[in-house]
Amino acid sequence: MYNQRSATPMFSERTLYFIVYGLVTLVLVGGGISMSVWINRQLSTFRTVPAPSAVYTNYSTDPADPNVPYLKPESLAAMSKYITDYPQPRNVQVLTGMTTAQIANYMTGQVAGGLKVDCTYCHNLSAGDFSAEQNLPVSEAQPGVARKTLARQMMLLSQDLNQNFAAQLPASVGGKQITCATCHNGKAVNFNGATGTLTNYPADQSPLPDTFQLKLDSLADIDALLITGKKDPNLAAVQYNQQVMTHNTQALGVGCGFCHNANYFPSNEIPQKGHALIMLKMAQHINATYKPIMANKAPSCWMCHQGQRLPPGSANTGQVPANLGYTPK
């Protein structure tokens, strides 16, 4: 027999309308809440990124873990007492002409801050004496050499590079100064690249593909880069040139047009080409003069630039002690 109740709708059209309306509203509200939560999480991630220090270009001296400061409270307390006891420095060999407080500010902000290490990385503070030369921590990379001795040599290196190479660059480049963080970038020993292509700089370059080697054998090697277009260079000269150029573009994160007139590569009207030659000579100078204090590691453009046009960790004008820096022209 035909069941008449089966022809009767379970819900009226009005009821169905409100059910559908409610479901759609729940979906939209739920989606909105989920999106808000996701956006807030993304913003929270950005909020936790340390703000760059006013001293540096795109570099923060904050510890990687805010709960684990690299400068220990007891070291800072010892430094405060030392400043009070000795307002004028003792046993200062490089940072001459500065008060103890000025030296302490530089040491905490640019030496400890550039390597992200505690004072005890170089100093023996068992007696609270920062001037002590006895029983100093020794370098792992160079056994028998005190880290304090290496630090002094590194300061002289930065002085040399600032005053004899960076000073040749015009003020329009930015007047950036070389300091500890410029090369170390927050790492005491190992300078790691940010990509899988260029890593572990400075490192022995022999394991790298030819494409990524910076040629540093001789100061005369710069001449090999000067392909003029007036005669056909041999294949070795072309390969040599392209290896260095590839290294430069990878290291600075720029294209060929940053330094070259794309219509005629040998021309010199773009200023950055001259700047690059100064920096290449600087890299060769480091390689020829300072490899012993770098544990015989080879320098490179990537070591400081790390994929950026301005080296992260370079100091702004006026932030480096006067006898280590230079005045932009």
pLDDT tens digits for 85-131?
Answer: 999 999 999 999 999 999 999 999 999 999 999 999 999 998 889 99
Closest CA to 155 of 196, 192, 203, 103: 103
Residue ranges per structural domain of the chain: 73-305
More confident residue, 223 or 215: 215
Residue 41 — pLDDT band, cuts 50, 70, 90? low
Residue 175 has what pLDDT? Answer: 92
pTM exceeding the 0.85 threshold for the entire prediction:
no
Of 74 and 7, the one with more pLDDT: 74
Mean pLDDT of 257-278: 91
